[in-house]
């Protein structure tokens, strides 16, 4: 059993700390947000992730997982300090490292014995060296420490599965012994461990996310060409995906990527390239295509409905993807705002993100279910691929709508079937 401090109880920190506790380690999860820590002590989680609440409660009951706001308390016996704080997008797309700096300074002020500091947050290349400099400069008396980069590759909606069954663990450090100790923490996961230097490990994270975002924008570009030429992008993607050099994942045409990682990380990588005098042409195009997919959804609504002023448009799904309540950079946000600017009355429903939607989109009328959204609507837009939307009673929905116009932003339905039901159906790249 190892003693671990995880700094930050957001998405990455809470999942990381809870999973390490479930593997038998003693974990103290720290956050300076007193309300968040108080809620966690009462069993109230700040995020929705399938299975996480049960795992938190189980490990708290077993005494392996505790929560605190006190740095020195959390670090007193810690062998490892995982920094898992937010790195939000800055003004020019750069990663804002103020929370990483605060964590590094607090670690320096509290540690009294050797410790390994592990950067779990997604941080610009060179941050590991920068954190080491901060800790050295801030220490009142020298205490040995090492810095290891261990980027996360968690997908919202399947984060526990991803942590416990990773495709690989990436570790970067200038201290081989420290890297080996962090590797030992991950041995129970029985996954390949890639050990490299700090900067290369940090770059692996950005390059991985940028490549996946590129796949999404690529298939959306193909989808738009399919629409013009009469081909079906779902069949195209299926045919492509059988090629092992391409693979099936991330070839679902739709409204583009969103969430807390891809948008922020692609922008940050492009910013790093520009600062170094490199022109990130591909990354810029990936972002342009992604933004266009959201505008295209509004264009399709307008084509079906005509003038949007005073029309009622319903959004089914508000989170950026299914099985999460995360609305950061969700396509539904952009689509709702664009529709409202054209005078439409926009309403929406999501199985789990209604509270976030109420805060982020106060002008959006929230409904109790999909059928309430459809009542009197001139058009519906499918924004999130929730399972409960796959088996809706569309005969009932058609009867409730003012006009049966449907923009399927996630290609959930068969176009021929929807047309037989009497819908004016518009998918993404369905030819």
pLDDT digits (tens, 9 = 90+) for 358-396: 999 999 999 999 999 999 999 999 999 999 999 999 999
Check 5, 110, 150, 261 and give the catalytic one. Answer: 261
Residue 34 pLDDT grade (very low, low, confident, very high; cuts 50, 70, 90): very high
pLDDT at 260 over 90: no
Residue pLDDT, tens place only, 294-348: 999 999 999 999 999 999 999 999 999 999 999 999 999 999 999 999 999 999 9
How high is the pLDDT of residue 239? 98
pLDDT, one tens digit per residue, over 63-113 is: 999 999 999 999 999 999 999 999 999 988 999 999 999 999 999 999 999
Sheet with strand 345-349: strands edge to edge: 365-366, 345-349, 312-316, 379-382, 405-408, 424-426
pLDDT of 214: 98
Whether the domain at 3-196 and the domain at 234-426 fall into the same CATH topology? yes
DSSP string covering 64-123: SEEEES-HHHHHSS-SEEEE-----B-TTS-B--HHHHHHHHHHHHH--S-EEEEE-S--
pLDDT, tens digit (0-9, with 9 covering 90-100), for 173-210: 999 999 999 999 999 999 999 999 999 999 999 999 99
pLDDT at 431 over 90: no
Q: CA 261 to CA 331: how far, in whole Å? A: 14
What six digits make up the tokens of 143? 């205490």
Residues of the chain with pLDDT > 70: what percent? 100
119-135 residue pLDDT tens? 999 999 999 999 999 99
Average pLDDT over residues 246-257: 97
The dotted CATH code for 234-426 is 3.40.50.720
CATH 3.40.50.720 fits 3-196, yes or no: yes
pLDDT in tens, 386-425: 999 999 999 999 999 999 999 999 999 999 999 999 999 9
Domain range annotation of the chain: 3-196, 234-426
Q: Is residue 261 annotated as part of the catalytic site, yes or no?
A: yes
pLDDT at 72: 96
Whether 329 and 93 have beta carbons less than 8 Å apart is answered as no
């Amino acid at each position: 059993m190892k003693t671990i401090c995880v700094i930050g109880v957001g998405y990455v920190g809470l999942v990381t700390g809870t999973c390490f506790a479930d593997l038998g380690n003693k974990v103290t999860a720290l956050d300076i947000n007193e309300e968040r820590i108080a809620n966690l002590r009462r069993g109230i989680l700040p995020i929705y992730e399938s299975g996480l609440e049960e795992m938190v409660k189980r490990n708290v009951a077993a005494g392996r997982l505790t929560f605190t706001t006190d740095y020195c308390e959390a670090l007193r016996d810690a062998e490892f300090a995982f920094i898992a704080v937010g790195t939000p997008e800055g003004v020019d797309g750069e990663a804002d490292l103020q929370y990483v700096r605060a964590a590094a300074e607090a670690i320096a002020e509290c540690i009294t014995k050797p410790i390994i500091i592990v950067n779990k947050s997604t941080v610009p290349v060179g941050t590991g060296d920068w954190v080491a400099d901060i800790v050295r400069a801030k220490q009142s008396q020298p205490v040995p420490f090492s810095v290891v980069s261990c980027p996360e590759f968690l997908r919202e909606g399947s984060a526990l599965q991803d942590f416990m069954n990773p495709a690989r663990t990436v570790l970067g450090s200038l201290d081989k012994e420290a890297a080996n100790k962090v590797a030992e923490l991950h041995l129970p996961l029985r996954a390949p461990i890639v050990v490299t230097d700090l900067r290369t490990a940090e770059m692996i994270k950005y390059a991985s996310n940028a490549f996946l975002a590129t796949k999404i924008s690529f298939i959306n570009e193909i989808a738009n060409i399919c629409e013009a030429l009469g081909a079906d992008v779902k069949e195209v993607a299926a045919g492509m995906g059988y090629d092992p050099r391409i693979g099936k994942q991330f070839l679902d045409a739709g409204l583009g990527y969103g969430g807390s990682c891809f948008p922020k990380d692609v922008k940050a990588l492009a910013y790093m390239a520009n600062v170094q005098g490199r022109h990130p042409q591909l990354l810029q195009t990936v972002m342009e295509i992604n933004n266009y997919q959201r505008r295209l959804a509004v264009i399709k609504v307008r084509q079906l409905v005509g003038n949007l002023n005073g029309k009622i448009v319903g959004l089914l799904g508000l989170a950026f993807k299914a099985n999460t309540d995360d609305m950061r950079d969700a396509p539904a946000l952009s689509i709702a705002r664009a529709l409202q600017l054209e005078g439409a009355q926009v309403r929406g429903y999501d199985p789990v993100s209604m509270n976030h939607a109420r805060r982020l989109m106060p002008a959006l009328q929230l409904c109790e279910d999909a059928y309430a959204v459809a009542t009197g609507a001139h058009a519906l837009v499918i924004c999130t691929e929730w399972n409960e939307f796959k088996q809706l009673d569309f005969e009932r929905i058609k009867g409730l709508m003012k006009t049966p116009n449907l923009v399927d932003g996630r290609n959930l339905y068969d176009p021929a079937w929807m047309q037989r039901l009497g819908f004016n159906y518009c998918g993404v790249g369905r030819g």
